[in-house]
Amino acid sequence: GAVVSQHPSWVICKSGTSVKIECRSLDFQATTMFWYRQFPKQSLMLMATSNEGSKATYEQGVEKDKFLINHASLTLSTLTVTSAHPEDSSFYICSAHRDSSYEQYFGPGTRLTVT
Partner 1 sequence: AQSVTQLDSQVPVFEEAPVELRCNYSSSVSVYLFWYVQYPNQGLQLLLKYLSGSTLVKGINGFEAEFNKSQTSFHLRKPSVHISDTAEYFCAVSVTGGAQKLVFGQGTRLTINP
Binding site for partner 1 (CB under 8 A): 4, 6, 31-32, 34, 42-46, 49, 91, 93, 95, 97, 99, 102-104, 106-109, 111
Report the residue number, 31 or 70, with the smaller CB distance to partner 1. 31
Q: How many CB atoms lie within 10 A of CB 42?
A: 10
CA distance 105 to 78: 16
Output DSSP code: residue 50: E
Q: How far is the CB of 16 from partner 1 (least distance, A)?
A: 26
Q: How far is the CB of 30 from partner 1 (least distance, A)?
A: 9
Report the residue number, 64 or 82, with the smaller CB distance to partner 1. 64
CA distance 106 to 33: 10
